[in-house]
Amino acid sequence: KAGVTQTPRYLIKTRGQQVTLSCSPISGHRSVSWYQQTPGQGLQFLFEYFSETQRNKGNFPGRFSGRQFSNSRSEMNVSTLELGDSALYLCASRSTVGGYTFGSGTRLTVV
Amino acid sequence: QQQVKQSPQSLIVQKGGISIINCAYENTAFDYFPWYQQFPGKGPALLIAIRPDVSEKKEGRFTISFNKSAKQFSLHIMDSQPGDSATYFCAAEGAGSYQLTFGKGTKLSVIP
């Protein structure tokens, strides 16, 4: 059974640019969550989607947005990138009864 | 406001020893408490989880102890092995919140 797939694995962007990250959940999982991981702040919740609806959102500025498609794949977008957005962005999928399964993440570096 | 406090930040244990990591939470609405293991370059992987209706859960060498009145829970790794060297995160989730609140992590090093 394939795990959670995140693309790309690594990304380097310039301040002011925007970026889109992709996540394909485990087949059959309809819930997809996004987390930001940094050495200073640790793992912080960004948002969660279920059947194309955002059910919860973390305390991040509006530059961070996401969406989920009918096939449960999800994307997150960060506009007007800042140096502080450099982080590992993790996607997790979840079945209705199980725990969260995380992908290996996308390492975003903003220069 | 940090809702889940984890200690210690780092831990060095001899091979064969017991590793103990502690977490405390503030939000009484939390009802699901997982532990995750993360290796460099990988995402967190679920190790073991507990709900507040039980005080202890064991899976192989990993045990969660849960104290609802003290709002604390801990991970015990018995017979620690060098392959257990990783960063461990406790987390908590409230019913219907659809989000995990993580502790800051504990870097475990098991030395031969």
Q: What is the mean pLDDT of chain B?
A: 95
Q: Are A74 and A49 in contact (CB under 8 A)?
A: yes
How far apart (Å, rounded) are the C-alpha atoms in residues B47 and B34? 7
> In the predicted model, is pLDDT for residue B1 greater than 70?
no
Q: Say what the pLDDT of residue A72 is.
A: 95
- Which residue in the set B45, B99, B105 is minimally distant from A33, CB to CB? B99
Please name the residue of chain B whose CA is at the shortest distance from the CA of residue A43: B102
pLDDT of residue B55: 95
Question: Does B47 lie at the interface with A, CB-CB under 8 angstroms?
Answer: no
Contact B98 A99 (CB under 8 A): no
Q: Report phi then psi at A5, rounded to 5.
A: -110, 125
Res B5 pLDDT > 80: yes
Please tell me whether residue B84 adopts helix, strand or coil conformation: helix
Mean pLDDT of B22-41: 95
**Residue A80 phi, psi dihedral angles, 5° rounding:** 45, 65
Asked if B43 and A104 come within 8 Å (Cβ–Cβ), the reply is yes
Q: How does pLDDT run across A63-90, given as a tens digit for each residue?
A: 999 999 999 999 999 999 999 999 999 9
Give the pLDDT score at A98.
75
User: ω into residue B44 within 30 of 0, thus cis?
Assistant: no
Average pLDDT for residues B16-39, to the nearest whole number?
Answer: 96
* Residue ranges of chain A with per-residue pLDDT less than 50: none
Contact A104 B42 (CB under 8 A): yes
Each residue's pLDDT tens digit, B42-97: 999 999 999 999 999 999 999 999 999 999 999 999 999 999 999 999 999 998 88
Chain-chain contact of B98 with A43 (C-beta, under 8 angstroms): no
Res A101: pLDDT? 95
Confirm or reject contact between B44 and chain A (CB < 8 A): yes
Residue B2 pLDDT? 59
Statement: residue B26 has pLDDT above 60: yes
Q: What CA–CA distance (Å, rounded) separates A84 from A12? A: 13
